Amino acid sequence: MVGYIFRRLLTAAITIVVVIILSGFLIHIIPGDPVTAMLAQSVSATEEDIARLNAQYGLDKPVWQQTFIYLGNVLQGNLGTTIRGNEAVLPLLLQRLPNTFALASAGLSVALAIGIPLGFVAAVNRGRAGDFVVMLIAILGVSIPSFWLGLTFIQVFSLQLGWFPVAGTSFRNMILPAMTLGIVNSALVARMTRSALIDILREDYIRSARARGLRESQVLFIHALRPALISIVTVVGLVFAHLLGGQVITENVFSWNGIGRLAIQAMLQRDYPLVQGFIVVFAISIVAVTTALDILYGVLDPRVRRK
């Protein structure tokens, strides 16, 4: 078990380093110069001012050199300072990270609450009308853009019915964005739950349980559903990654003050340190969650450790 945990942690560390290096190269593909954009409204700005600020933020160095300098700073816990406002990036991101995780957790809860029962119904009714209806719902859920669903919720439940506020970070503000994220991602949970249950229902011990005369409810909920939940654990990591990825748009639609909304603002302002800081924190968050779930999966299923 110790070797398995060490391998997972080593893979996670390598993944984060690769993400930092790639982000350093890719971030400079964004058109425009952040210093020029920052001084655009200053009539008295000169070429010397632009050169001085480029040197101050290290933007005058080659991209590869900027990337490895940044990697060294990150390993020391320094994500730099913002170009606009000259604020430390790490505290700025950590201030909004709890809002992002709260919304992601709420969205995950909604996705599991909807997806697991739907997947269970589809597996039990495989090949019948119930299975067809659930899979149709799942396809629709995958096809619906999160921003369109969010705007529809705002139009109906906020503007027309007045049940929920349009923007903010209170519990009532969280309901609509959590429903948006949860409904869109419940389709993935439903399909994975269905697949896991169908595989388990083919096992010999399920046929043996039925042959012993156990009620169908006992066979499904005790002998089939519990082993299937072990496989569903791995899906939670995928869903969480989907939630964080889709949350960047959802946070902007609902004006939710998380790191996703901050990242969009940083991209529009071409604030390289803030964008890179977002990528680093985003990557660390996803890798940490998925690694923890992989380790939990290894604890629950010894076959994974032996592989």
**Model confidence pTM above 0.75:** no
How far apart, in whole angstroms, are the C-alpha atoms of residue 289 and residue 97?
14
Who contacts 136 (Cβ-Cβ below 8 Å, separation ≥6)?
A: none
How far apart, in whole angstroms, are the C-alpha atoms of residue 212 and residue 202?
16
Per DSSP, the three-state class of 136 is helix
**Among 164, 141, 150, residue whose Cα is nearest residue 249:** 150
pLDDT digit string, tens, across residues 3-43: 767 777 788 888 888 887 887 777 666 666 666 655 555 55
3-state SS string for 10-37: HHHHHHHHHHHHHHHHHHHHCCCCHHHH
Per DSSP, the three-state class of 88 is strand
pLDDT digit string, tens, across residues 186-231: 888 888 888 877 777 777 777 777 777 777 666 777 667 667 766 7
DSSP state of 222: I
Residue 168's region, left for phi above 0, alpha for psi from -120 to 50, else beta, is left
